[in-house]
Structure 1
Amino acid sequence: MDRATVVMITHNRVREVLRTLREMTRQPDGAPIILVDNGSGDGTADTVARRYPEVELIRSERNLGAVARNLAVRRVRTRYVAFCDDDTTWQPGSLARAADLLDAHPGLGAVTGRCLVEPGLAEDPLTPELRHSPVPRPAWLPGPALLGVLAGLSMFRVTAFRAVGGFSPRLWLGGEEELLSLDLAARGWWMCWAEDVVIHHAPSKQRDSRHRRTLGIRNTLWTLWLRRPLRSAARRTRAVLAGAPADRATCSAVLAALRGLPWVLRERRVVPRRVEEGLVLLEDAQRRSTARRYVD
């Protein structure tokens, strides 16, 4: 495929990344792949270089988190970039389908696919929120309008991604897509969900779920205060903390969020009213969502 490049990041998951590359390099779509090894200590980079010489490999000396994707996108020469985690695989035909949607709709900045969780291939618990998104959409939009995407399930228009600066270095990893999505929407780009763009997720056991939860809560709080009006930010902060366990991880997240307050105040840019109205419409589903519970 000459329309899209697949970008993948990994850290100390050599087994998972080899499995994913095996599947992605067999795709009939034939998209080029750029892999960023985030300072792995398990030989990931050398193993990938030996087994998959056709994959463009970037070796980072340290773990850059989601910002490693920005590094890869600098090398992308195609119109679109599809992000793929080291434990997700785009299914045959899905890369082409997402690119077709972006080709057909110049105002579309990103397409997010349907996630099926292995081994049983049940839909990811977040799927109902995406399928039934209440955000108003223009007649031309080919699917439910989104104000938040999941990076490993999404294809982006490269010009749109670059225009908003990609992923924030401050957020690092864990809910890092929220800020990017709001900045895309603020610039007038639409994002949608596509039922027939399918990605499988085989959740890796090589993860520190408690640390990821801490980062997720911190990043959610930062994003709220960076982009939402004060009243909305306060309301959603109460909801987020009410749904989080009263434990050390949550306490660490709140303290980290408070330490970043000077940066948040410097960088605060409230989204346009139309975007905020869409975010308010999403709040009821977010309150009821079991997929948004901050538990390990």
Structure 2
Amino acid sequence: MSLTTTAEMAGAAPGPAETDDVTIVVATRNRPDRLAATVPHHRAPVIIVDNGSERPIRVPGADVVRLDSNLGAAARNVGAERARTRYVAFADDDSYWEPGSLARAASLFRSHPRTALLAAEVRVGAGAYLDPVSAQMAAAPLGTPPGAAGPAILGFLACSVVVRRDAFLAAGGFRPRLFVYGEEALLAMDLAAAGWRLSYAPSLIVRHFPEPAGRNQRARHRIEARNRVLTALLRRPPAVVARTLAGALGSHPAALVDVARNLPWALRHRHPLPPAVEEALRRLN
């Protein structure tokens, strides 16, 4: 993998920084139009990881890292490794953090040293409707531990979290083998297993403008099913693995071919979760 950087391109630059404690990392591929719409809203130093785009992406005022190939979600790891701030906020090329959110996130981290991840409230589209994942987090099924930054969570949307950089990297970041779709679950488990808190912080707001459905949904659902099974194989008890396999077989049987290809890797890296984390996941299921 070779890396090159540049800081010039026709188009708008990020806005004035509201904090120097957070770096925004954006992974993108072949969507310069989406970047042009969202980058001007960023209010912190920006690292853009060009995930093997067919044509190089250049953004004024940002540190652009060009990858030779598409690493999927693991491209975010490259940006986090390159960042020099204590905290890293992730964004997609179709999302941005509302003003004040990143400064508040830095303040929350300073006040809650056991917290490794803060998940924002996500507002979708021009109508700014509440994302269903945010609604689930707001319901606080795991409660709010005393002294926590917000309700405890064991899942998140990658484009709407700020992480403590050293904890994120120590946990391994996003696993390249999972590529995309459902890659967040394993990281959430591993951060919790390492003793960190993950919290929903609705005072932080992310605006998300996803494209209308048009991507290959069949392929996406197959990858999601594969990743659910691989994540279970990596961390969950045999009974959960069996149920997850059965679910994949019933809904996306082709995903089991993908699981079989990755089975030796999953078994080599299997580390069951601590009982407290497993119990919390059972409460969510």
1:168, 1:117 → 2: CA distance? Answer: 27
Residue number in structure 2 paired with 1:39: 52
2:261, 2:247 → 1: CA distance? Answer: 21
Residue number in structure 1 paired with 2:197: 190
| Deviation string, structure 1 residues 211-265 (Cα, Å, up to 9, x no partner) | 22221111111001110111122234445655x4xxxxx2332210122111111
Structure 2 unpaired stretches of 5+: 1-18
**Matching residue within 53, 70, 75 for 1:63:** 70
2:52, 2:226 → 1: CA distance? Answer: 24
Residue number in structure 2 paired with 1:8: 26
Q: Equivalent residue of 1:199, what SS? A: strand
Q: Give me the TM-score of the superposition, normalised by structure 1.
A: 0.85
Structure 1 unpaired stretches of 5+: 245-249, 284-296
Any conservation in 2 of the 1:147–1:181 contact (CA below 8 Å)? yes
1:48-197 equivalences in 2 (<5 Å):
49=58, 52-197=59-204
Any conservation in 2 of the 1:39–1:59 contact (CA below 8 Å)? yes
Give the % identical residues: 42
Residue number in structure 2 paired with 1:234: 242
Shift in Å at residue 153 of structure 1?
Answer: 0.3
Which deviates more from structure 2 when the two are superposed, residues 203-212 or residues 124-133?
A: 203-212
2:243, 2:225 → 1: CA distance? Answer: 15
Q: Equivalent residue of 1:70, what SS? A: helix
Residue number in structure 1 paired with 2:11: none
Q: Give me the TM-score of the superposition, normalised by structure 2.
A: 0.89
**Matching residue within 208, 219, 228 for 1:211:** 219
**Matching residue within 277, 280, 283 for 1:278:** 280
Any conservation in 2 of the 1:14–1:44 contact (CA below 8 Å)? no
Q: Equivalent residue of 2:61, what SS? A: coil
| Deviation string, structure 1 residues 268-291 (Cα, Å, up to 9, x no partner) | 1000000000000001xxxxxxxx
Shift in Å at residue 133 of structure 1?
Answer: 2.9
Q: Equivalent residue of 1:81, what SS? A: strand
Q: Equivalent residue of 2:224, what SS? A: helix
| Count of residue pairs the alignment pairs up | 266
RMSD over aligned CA atoms reads: 1.6
2:108, 2:246 → 1: CA distance? Answer: 38
Any conservation in 1 of the 2:119–2:200 contact (CA below 8 Å)? yes
Residue type of the partner of 1:220? R
| Deviation string, structure 1 residues 90-128 (Cα, Å, up to 9, x no partner) | 111111111111111000000000111102111112222
Any conservation in 1 of the 2:26–2:47 contact (CA below 8 Å)? yes
Q: Closer, same or farther in 2 for the Cα pair 1:263/1:212, shift >3 Å?
A: same
